Structure 1
């Protein structure tokens, strides 16, 4: 194996281990120029081995192509991160919190204060991994059939467990928010758990970046009025502030 082949193999190993790496970071770690890295990336893109999204290079795992979870993680990352920080600030001692499917919900877990005692309910592997790092968090994990594209487990048993759970808060996510057609998701298999989570929680909190508004996806799981709180970013249209005000929804832009 020649030097270029060894470098590309090393690059792929880095990308397999990490969610997204910048060209600058790859160049530093491989001890080559950014021009060389970009040339290698073009070769890998032609072979459909990597994706390049929002300035990040990502390994193109074939099992994730249905939903492109890795791409979702880097889309509007800074906005989602601010939304997650605000959401985490709403968590209180002894809360029972349901964490929905979605990359923003995972980010919330990272900002849970280490000293706080809560019970967390989740259904995705990536959320579970982050929750395990919080020593004062008791975890309830919903099992079932594993959907690789979203890292979600889904089953009727999991839905029934949610229905028996009395939660103080749920952090819901969505792929689309429409004034007329409500709150929607991409995958219909998410609907059962999303709906049960909303019904089981005292306070319903929707975490959604501004690009999801005025967008409709196939799986409708809630009406806009089902939510008590919406947290989004500053790119939101002023019209939505008026809509949520009429529905008496607490509306935060971060």
Structure 2
């Protein structure tokens, strides 16, 4: 299933795929492809159509964490490696629940010492409990779809701290509409995190550029670093320079 998800996600230029085409590509039966497409539709990745499927591009698309965690894995690891260059041992961090941020925390916990990490991610807590970090969980209302804690209790905990860096990700990034996400409670928590950090790091793979999601998190000018997996267009580089955002790729 993961290989099929990658096939759909590897290029936003793919408008429609056909059952017969996919069966040949993956050397499986058409019935297997139909079952996979049915499952992907339930997860919000594709919309089924006669003889195949089209890629879902709803602005409020909110995929389960298990699905997001197997999309663009190499790009996320690439970004994680670059993120570690900004963080030093002893730093304090606040981090969201995104799978890209998770990869960064995974690497940071292994390479840095004496980190203090505040997060609303149940998945990250499960990972970080195996390392020598000072770990603070925000508390809040559990969103099982994303393994995240949200709501007023999460916001109240975040408001008690001031950290060196916030590390967040997003669903969309556009020059016109800024940094956007698919889910309002998640976006609100991220906004609180940004306000409690001396420096803000946005980690976003190249598929997020020139996309709009459901709700705005913050203007691009409010972040300090944008870390991505490959060189963006000249227009984006110029735009980020004008906004005083350090681009790392």
Give TM-score, length-normalised by structure 1.
Answer: 0.74
State the alpha-carbon separation in 1 of the partners of residues 38 and 116 from structure 2: 44
User: Is 1:242 paired with 2:245?
Assistant: no
Larger Rg: 1
Cα distance in 2 for partners of 1:177, 1:150 equals 20
Change (3 A) 1:47 1:115: closer
Structure 1 gaps, min length 5: 1-14, 23-34, 54-64
Structure 2: state its 5+ residue gaps: 5-24, 46-60
Look up the match of 1:109: 105
Query: How many residues get paired?
Result: 210
In structure 2, the partner of 1:118 is 115
Aligned mate of 1:45, from 18, 36, 39? 36
Alpha-carbon distance in 2 for matches of 1:179, 1:115: 34
Counterpart residue number, 1:179: 175
The answer to whether structure 1 residue 132 and structure 2 residue 132 are counterparts is no
Structure-1 separation of matches of 2:175 and 2:3 = 37
Paired with 1:98 and 1:66, the residues of 2 have a C-alpha distance of: 22
Pairing of 1:1-254 with structure 2 (within 5 A): 38-39=28-29, 41-42=32-33, 45=36, 48=39, 67-112=63-108, 113-114=110-111, 116-134=113-131, 136-234=132-230, 236-253=232-249
Secondary structure at 1:111 match in 2: helix
Q: CA deviation at 1:196?
A: 0.8
Work out the CA distance in 1 between the residues paired with 2:112 and 2:71: 31
Distance change >3 Å, CA 47–CA 139, structure 1 → 2: same
Whether the 8 Å CA contact 2:203–2:227 is kept in 1: the answer is: yes
How far apart, in 1, do the equivalents of 2:176 and 2:62 lie?
27
In the TM superposition, residue 108 of structure 1 has moved relative to its aligned partner by 0.6
CA RMSD, 1 decimal: 2.6
Aligned partners of 2:62 and 2:183 also within 8 Å = no
Runs of 4+ in structure 1 off by over 3 angstroms are 35-44, 46-51
1:96-145 per-residue CA deviation (whole Å, 9 max, x = no partner) reads 101112100100111113551110011111111121121x2010001121
8 A contact 1:105–1:127 mirrored in 2: no
Cα 1:79/1:140, change in 2 over 3 Å: same
Q: TM-score, normalised by structure 2?
A: 0.76
Indicate the residue corresponding to 1:5 in structure 2.
none
SS at match of 1:206: strand
**Partner residue in 1 for 2:55:** none
1:204 is paired with a residue of what secondary structure? Answer: strand
